[in-house]
Amino acid sequence: RAKLHPSRKVCFYEPSMDAEIRQKREIANALSHAMEHDQLELHYQLQASVQSGKVCGMEALLRWTHPTMGPVSPAVFIPIAEEYNLIIALGEWVLNRACRDAASWKDGQKVAVNLSPLQLMQVELPRIIHQNLIETGLAPHRLEVELTETAILSDRDRSLHILRQIKALGVCVALDDFGTGYSSLEILRAFPFDKIKLDRFFMTEIETSNASKAMVRSVLSLGKNLKIPVLAEGVETELQLDFLREEGCDEIQGFLLGRPEKLAEAIRNSVNTLAIQEPEDCEDDDKV
């Protein structure tokens, strides 16, 4: 594709750009057939309460296995789906499957579903969510939708309006990847979030950086003061968990508790508990 320089009227042509666009178009094309060809699957990652050590929810994470390309990461195909107008259909598939899966769990754990910013621009979204709840019989409070700040920043009034309608259904709303990107504290005041998910970037840093520790403490106290529970993403080590526990973090999610896995495995592992630190004689062998 040629790029026109406005002032000098010279065409710049880069072959690599062409290849990239062609590849993206190929992926988009393959993705548009993924649903009907049964190539999509939801994996679930456990979330646990720090205080009780018990699993309290699972996040649904989309997986795509192409017959020749193999597994494609959502970090690759979600942006393409957004660019090529596939995200609405994909998002509806995820919502429906996640609600159906969650309705089949005997115990009342929550299921968290990621929403694309483009889904939040859709006025029909609350109705679609409502319909899914009715169809699957899932109690509204067992569904949590996850949004990032970018979802809100593109059109504040519209997204606030849609978000309020979703909340009115009894569905929970979590702010995903908090603390990176264009985080504005004002968003926490203006929008009715039920949970803050602290970006996993901070976990990779807290073992080595005092500044990161200080930031995590600040977010946790912010959550306390606003009465919004905070979940730490990307918890991989006992050391990180110990720190979070001491600082009063509400929930965790991460490889320490479990990787995203198939539904049956996630259900099997949901009876596991985090090792609870007891004052004395702490037995460590029941941890996950």
**Structure token digits, residue 223:** 């959550």
- Compute the least distance from the CB of residue 11 to ligand C2E, in Å: 36
Quote the strand ranges of the chain, DSSP E: 2-4, 11-13, 40-49, 55-66, 70-72, 110-114, 143-147, 172-178, 195-198, 230-232, 251-253
Three-state DSSP state, 174: strand
Which of residues 49 and 114 has its CB atom nearest to Mg ion in the complex? 114
Residue 238 φ/ψ region, left for φ over 0, alpha for ψ in the -120 to 50 degree band, beta for the rest: alpha
Of the candidates 259, 233, 201, 195, the residue with the CA atom closest to the CA atom of residue 63: 259
* Binding of residue 144 to Mg ion (CB under 5 A): no
- Compute the least distance from the CB of residue 235 to ligand C2E, in Å: 6
**C-alpha to C-alpha distances, 117 to 51, 64, 86, 195, 261, nearest whole angstrom:** 32, 20, 13, 18, 25
Q: First-to-last CA distance in the chain?
A: 52
Applying CB under 6 A, among 116, 122, 132, 240 the residue interacting with ligand C2E is: 116
- Compute the least distance from the CB of residue 195 to Mg ion, in Å: 11
- Compute the least distance from the CB of residue 279 to Mg ion, in Å: 34
* x/- track of binding to Mg ion for residues 216-255 (CB under 5 A): -----------------x----------------------
DSSP per-residue letters across 251-284: EEESTTT---B-HHHHHHHTT-BPPPPPSSS---
Which of residues 92 and 199 has its CB atom nearest to Mg ion in the complex? 199
Of the candidates 72, 99, 74, the residue with the CA atom closest to the CA atom of residue 87: 74
Phi and psi for 257 in degrees, rounded to 5?
Answer: -85, -35
Cα–Cα distance, 191 to 173 (Å, whole number): 10
Applying CB under 5 A, among 146, 149, 250, 251 the residue interacting with Mg ion is: 146
* Binding of residue 92 to Mg ion (CB under 5 A): no
Contact 170, 194 (CB under 8 A): no
* x/- track of binding to ligand C2E for residues 216-255 (CB under 6 A): ------------------xxx-----------------xx
Q: Which stretch binds ligand C2E (CB under 6 A): 32-40, 73-81, 180-188, 243-251?
A: 73-81
- Compute the least distance from the CB of residue 278 to ligand C2E, in Å: 25
* x/- track of binding to ligand C2E for residues 171-210 (CB under 6 A): -----xx----------------------x----------
* Total of chain residues touching ligand C2E, rule CB under 6 A: 22
Which of residues 30 and 146 has its CB atom nearest to Mg ion in the complex? 146
* Binding of residue 114 to Mg ion (CB under 5 A): yes
Which helix H or strand E contains 217, and what residues bound it?
A: helix 210-226
Cα–Cα distance, 165 to 216 (Å, whole number): 31
Applying CB under 6 A, among 39, 47, 109, 114 the residue interacting with ligand C2E is: 114
Phi and psi for 36 in degrees, rounded to 5?
Answer: -70, -20
Applying CB under 6 A, among 30, 34, 62, 274 the residue interacting with ligand C2E is: 62
- Residues in contact with ligand C2E by the rule CB under 6 A: 45, 61-62, 73-75, 78, 91, 94, 114-116, 146, 176-177, 200, 234-236, 254-255, 260
- Residues in contact with Mg ion by the rule CB under 5 A: 114, 146, 176-177, 233
